[in-house]
Structure 1
Amino acid sequence: MAGIDFKLYLISDRSLVNKPCCDVLEAALAAGAGAVQLREKDLNIKEIMVLAEKMRELTKTYKAKLFINDRVDVALAVEADGVHLTQNSIPVAAARKIAGDRLIIAQSTHSLEEAILAQSKGADFITLGPIYETKSKLQFGPPIGVQTITKVKKKLKIPVFAIGGIKPDNLTEVLEAGADGVAVISGILSSTDVFGETKKYLELLK
């Protein structure tokens, strides 16, 4: 899909930062991050809307794409570029029925079977993981490894973004396995230099 013109997909997590969330994400955007997913599951809908509106302005300023986790209504309300659905969200087909062609629809997957299903239901791209061990993805079980990326890429035509424990020192291995890009949370947000760390990822993703 023409709208997926990025390789680094940054996912927000306020619990990892000790500054205002928007300030940290702006540092990554200033470094060249092409897409950000707003994913703050502890916030109520009103709080999410406020943050989403701020992020929409920021992403417009830096000409980056904004995705909203789970909430198709919020994504449409703030004119985000896309929505990111989990395995517990409304189905991809239902999201498409609501949004039409106004949103890019991403889907989280954790196995070959889930990846194939996501494509068949109309997802525009998927995240696949956890590839490596990471605290943020412990609930999804043991790491699935880079070999799963290769298996999935053989079956899918849509872009596959690897997620879970991806750092600059293992990113090349992930790309060699066939990933179209990477989704990152703590690898960037836990850094004391978000701008510099984002640049490291982008250099490797060229």
Structure 2
Amino acid sequence: MTLRDCLKLYFVMGTQNCDRSPARVLEEALSGGVTMFQFREKGVRCLKGKPMVELALELQHLCQKYSVPFIINDDVDLALSLNADGVHIGQEDESVGTVRKKLGDKILGISAHNVREAKLALDAGADYLGVGPMFQTTTKNDCRPVQGPRVIESMREAGIRLPIVGIGGIHYDNVHKVIEAGSDGVAVISAISKHPERTHTLFQGVQDSLLKSF
């Protein structure tokens, strides 16, 4: 499976996003069609230290069971210690060049909010871009102003050919707008963490939208 294929339905989650066991939520999501997973343990009540590492390992084993890439948000040292498949970092995190040197050939995803950031990420060695927020979302308290799918269109028009995944407020009824703009897939948090039983329906929405965009 290529990286573009892995980005079709990218699930991002930590304990702060779940009403029940994260492992149960993730397994249901994986069985429903999730193609990549990012462990993002951030927030006021997030786990730290040994409990956080133990949860990361449990979720990593589930991803391995379903042959789905396991990505760590921001924490390069944790990713290396667990031999995770990669890391995703934001614009305010460690420099892309430094992270790339530490990771070697592991997957490196970068959050980008405009064409300039996308080009810088490309030059620094990013493997894919996380672009957003696409729509209004309450999941992240520190997110940037809503960009809308148009920002993905502008990146494609500027010649950015890196795999792109849209993120922010995405659900079944608007997923087609993100794919039509040129995204290779969608990254979601609450659309799956709160309703993992709907994962297959969302996956089918992505698949249908990708087929129509060709």
The answer, yes or no, to whether TM exceeds 0.5 is yes
| Aligned pair partner of 1:93 in 72, 93, 97 | 97
What SS does the corresponding residue of 1:10 show, helix, strand or coil? strand
Partner of 2:107: 104
Partner of 1:124: 127
Cα root mean square deviation, aligned: 1.6
Q: 1:88 is matched by which residue type in structure 2?
A: E
- CA shift for structure 1 position 4: 4.3
Partner of 2:139: 136
| Aligned pair partner of 1:177 in 177, 181, 194 | 181
Determine what percentage of the aligned residue pairs are the same residue: 38
Partner of 2:200: 199
What SS does the corresponding residue of 2:10 show, helix, strand or coil? strand
Any residues of structure 2 matched to 1:157-172 within 5 Å, and which? 157-172=161-176
What SS does the corresponding residue of 2:5 show, helix, strand or coil? coil
- CA shift for structure 1 position 14: 2.1
| Aligned pair partner of 1:76 in 51, 59, 80 | 80
Q: 1:106 is matched by which residue type in structure 2?
A: G
Describe the shift of the 1:2–1:199 C-alpha distance in structure 2 as closer, same or farther (beyond 3 A): closer
Name structure 2 gaps, 5 residues minimum. Answer: 208-214
What SS does the corresponding residue of 1:105 show, helix, strand or coil? strand
- CA shift for structure 1 position 47: 2.9
Aligned pair count? 202
State yes or no: 1:59 paired with 2:58.
no
TM (normalized to structure 1)? 0.91
Partner of 2:36: 35
Q: 1:134 is matched by which residue type in structure 2?
A: T
Partner of 2:156: 153
State yes or no: 1:188 paired with 2:192.
yes
Contact 1:83/1:104 (CA < 8 Å) preserved in 2? Answer: yes
User: 2 CA distance for matches of 1:4 and 1:96?
Assistant: 19
TM (normalized to structure 2)? 0.88
